[in-house]
Structure 1
């Protein structure tokens, strides 16, 4: 069995004196799509920030591609091949769509993701190529954020709140995109509240409650565990 692309083991993270993560452990295999689920404020985004080095973990191990990355600066983590689509999108409002996409582009891992391929995945971005990021709708900004992360040619893509605040038709577009990405063999970690869509597209799920993983299983297991969905997701 090959080593997982990403492994967290006993990760603890604090904001000042307030501890948020209490021994988080999870793994993502090559070409696997994994979700992190839970109610608001339970530590999902903090887990992502810990992986990326944006809020350094104070204990535990974070291994990516067999390399210990805990304690490394965020830019180094990104260079190793983790692409982040952050909560709130955080695109560059005063750069054009094209400039947003090429600003952080890198040809690592074979350089398969090019401007042309992003435009094929999201034709709307090709149509708006010359528009400033700040002129785009929320859905278009999310597409741009995904495209920008893919342009770094990551080995692992992380999406924090993949479809939050988007219109239903745009959500469908994002889920279609994620299904396509899974087909390319890219490893993906996704956070979202749309349990039904996540179960259709993802391989495994990790449920988080108060900074701890309280349940993990496949989509089939989660579908059958309606008590778990109700207890930890309120659905």
Structure 2
């Protein structure tokens, strides 16, 4: 990655603490994503990965710490305003609109607020995921899990985000669909799309991600490059159960 891109911090999370009622989940967690970078957020189930995403998006407000996106403090903003700044979310469980068609799902929140010079269009999404073109008039509720994940990614890309966030990118998907999603992420990396991704597949994440954060019980316990992660199998066993 070019140093000029590395110098520009797109997302900066510093020392956030987040609770659900009286139960604290995040304890001073920090991470950052540079422009054009793909970053993986890793850890066992229940360690705070989804809560981190919810805090970034304002869905579960952090009670302290700093969250900056494109230089703007966003910790106190409502979710819709954070999304409008240029974050596209592919949430855990996909959460597509079940009573809209595939086409309607894709155009429902489409836009190019960030001024992408090569914006995503329906045609480009169909080229990326031909199955969505075949299912264009189908209701969201009729899609398979893999098709719903493709649709969730397509819907997020149609907002032309500065940062794409994927929570459990390939969880529960058939092997062929998983491979299609990884190919999609590789293509996005090639386009220079900034990505923050949660997934459990260390091999694929190490192949395409620039850096990794491992969290344990709501704290960042390790960060490093793919090369460093591959070189530390004991680390993977300790924190990822591999």
Which residue number corresponds to residue 84 of structure 2?
79
The Cα shift of 1:71 comes to 1.0
Task: Give the number of equivalent residue pairs.
Answer: 235
Which residue number corresponds to residue 35 of structure 1?
40
Which residue number corresponds to residue 120 of structure 1?
127
Q: Within 2, Cα distance between the matches of 1:108 and 1:123? A: 26
Q: Within 2, Cα distance between the matches of 1:10 and 1:123? A: 42
The Cα shift of 1:89 comes to 0.2
Whether 2:28 is the aligned partner of 1:23: answer yes
**TM-score, length of structure 2 as denominator length:** 0.96
Stretches of structure 2 lacking an aligned partner (at least 5 in a row): none
Moved more, 104-113 or 32-41: 104-113
Which residue number corresponds to residue 220 of structure 2?
213
RMSD: 0.8
Q: Within 2, Cα distance between the matches of 1:15 and 1:172? A: 35
> Residue 175 of structure 1 is aligned with which of 182, 186, 204?
182
The Cα shift of 1:107 comes to 1.7
Q: What is the DSSP-based 3-state SS (H/G/I as helix, E as strand, rest coil) of the residue aligned with 1:153?
A: coil
- In the TM superposition, 1:101-140 aligns within 5 A as 101-111=106-116, 112-140=119-147
Which residue number corresponds to residue 204 of structure 1?
211
Deviations 1:3-46 (A, max 9, x none): 31000000110001111000011110010000000000000000
The Cα shift of 1:229 comes to 0.1
Which residue number corresponds to residue 196 of structure 2?
189
> Residue 97 of structure 2 is aligned with which of 69, 92, 108?
92
Q: What is the DSSP-based 3-state SS (H/G/I as helix, E as strand, rest coil) of the residue aligned with 1:50?
A: helix
Q: What is the DSSP-based 3-state SS (H/G/I as helix, E as strand, rest coil) of the residue aligned with 1:5?
A: strand
**TM-score, length of structure 1 as denominator length:** 0.99
Moved over 3 A (4+): none
- In the TM superposition, 1:140-155 aligns within 5 A as 140-155=147-162
Which residue number corresponds to residue 164 of structure 2?
157
Stretches of structure 1 lacking an aligned partner (at least 5 in a row): none
Contact map agreement 1:97 1:130 (CA 8 A) in 2: yes
